Amino acid sequence: MTHPNILDGADAVLVVIDIQDPLLKTIHEADRVVENTIKLVEAAKIFNLPILVPLQYASRLGDVTKPIADVLPSAQRFDKMTFSCLGSPDFLNALNETGRKQVILCGIESHVCVNQTAHDLLMQGFKVHVIKDAVSSRTAGNWITSIEKMRDSGCVISSVETAIFELTQDSSSPEFKKILPIVK
């Protein structure tokens, strides 16, 4: 039996929030967010996790940044104007249609859209895993404060490698060899 705070590939979905170029250019350690999000996307594909991509005001701010778009061309995108992704009925419907209850969050800004989405997901009964090294804000202070707030509210704060190894579970699994290039 596995602890409820450990990710389960059969019950998890990856949500990539607002990593759009106009927003990204002011983000603290933006390269880290992009690099680690790519790792999460690559792992999610190995484990066949649904990947949902909400975008803030996409008609004005555009698609997810190209390095990430290049690794997830078929992922569902959702335009939103609200900070919480759950303000988009299409996003919430797609999430519910997955039937999965663990949500892995990465993206920006951690103190705005990631934070409000995490809290709304908790209210809807989801187990929320915020990937600390794949989220950020314009300032380090807002990033750290939002991580602390989400943890205090009941989110699981994790890292890219922790999440990937939890999804893998077993070094004898066929996925293990596939994830090695991601984590090395």
pLDDT at residue number 30:
96
Residue 46's domain is classified under what CATH number?
A: 3.40.50.850
pLDDT at residue number 20:
93
Catalytic residues: 18, 80, 113
pLDDT at residue number 174:
87
Q: How confident is the model at residue 2 (pLDDT cuts 50, 70, 90)?
A: confident
Of the listed ranges 74-83, 101-110, 118-127, the least confidently predicted one is 74-83
Flag whether 82 is in a domain.
yes
Flag whether 184 is in a domain.
no
For residue 44, which of 70, 10, 92, 78 has the smallest C-alpha distance?
Answer: 10
HSE, side-chain direction, 13 A CA sphere, residue 159: 5
134, amino acid identity: A
pLDDT at residue number 170:
87
Res 151 pLDDT > 80: yes
Q: Each residue of 26-63: pLDDT tens digit? A: 999 999 999 999 999 999 999 999 999 999 898 899 89
The count of other CB atoms within 10 Å of the CB of residue 29 is 14
Task: Determine the structural domain holding residue 155 and report its residue range.
Answer: 12-178
Which strand (E) or helix (H) includes residue 156? strand 156-158
Entry pTM: 0.96
Alpha-helical (H) ranges within the chain are 21-24, 30-46, 58-61, 66-69, 89-98, 115-123, 140-153, 160-168, 174-183
Of the listed ranges 11-15, 75-79, 146-150, the least confidently predicted one is 75-79
Flag whether 3 is in a domain.
no
Flag whether 25 is in a domain.
yes
Asked, as a colleague might, if the bond just before 109 is cis with ω within 30 of 0, I would say yes
What average pLDDT does the chain have?
Answer: 94
Flag whether 4 is in a domain.
no
Instruction: Work out how many domains the chain is built from and give that number.
Output: 1
Q: Each residue of 64-99: pLDDT tens digit? A: 999 999 998 788 899 999 999 999 999 999 999 999
Flag whether 65 is in a domain.
yes
The torsion angles phi and psi of 115, rounded to 5 degrees, stand at -60, -50
Res 101 pLDDT > 90: yes
Flag whether 45 is in a domain.
yes
Quote the CA–CA distance of 102 and 125 in Å, as a whole number: 9
pLDDT at residue number 175:
87
Flag whether 5 is in a domain.
no
Long-range contacts for 83-89 (Cβ within 8 Å, ≥24 apart)? 83/56, 83/112, 83/113, 83/116, 83/117, 84/113, 84/116, 84/117, 84/119, 84/120, 85/15, 85/17, 85/54, 85/113, 85/117, 85/120, 86/117, 86/120, 86/121, 86/124, 88/54
Quote the CA–CA distance of 176 and 29 in Å, as a whole number: 29
Tell me the two tokens of residue 102: 């663990």
